[in-house]
Amino acid sequence: RILPFQNAQINRERCASLVGRAGGAAEDNPTIFGKILRKEIPADIVHEDDICLAFRDINPTAPTHILVIPKKHITMLSEASDEDTSILGHLLATAKNVAKKEGLDDGYRIVINNGEHGCQSVFHLHVHIIGGRQLSWPPG
């Protein structure tokens, strides 16, 4: 059996497919992450505070694959405003703390995909924490 993280290479067609299904942003945040934030669908939550939520990715690319999302709907990193600076810093600090809690002492990767060419699949800003195995470079 091949586990999802054993075949981490995502080809261009799969990326385009993910981007096409993700949908755009709206004030009520119809993305899957908006539904998770509103507790309309379940998630394996590992951290929650007033600013962000962290949960396990349902399609992991490594043994540990966690997403950290802001509770404020920011579509993508390039759309963040100067007023969002403290939120952005909080997302990275939370990622560091979650990685420590998960025991990723040997290292991990932080990824933020931005836009179609960055293969962003959900248009709600999210930080990937990927670890639990030796990662390769370049990432894709």
Q: What is the pLDDT tens value at each position of the chain, 140 positions in all?
A: 344 444 444 444 545 444 444 433 334 788 999 999 999 999 999 999 999 999 999 999 999 999 999 999 999 999 999 999 999 999 999 999 999 999 999 999 999 999 999 999 999 999 999 999 999 998 76
- Which is catalytic among the residues 65, 73, 124, 126? 126
Which residues contact residue 81 at a Cβ distance below 8 angstroms, ignoring those fewer than 6 apart? Answer: none
Which residues share a beta bridge with 56? 66
Q: Known catalytic residue: 126?
A: yes
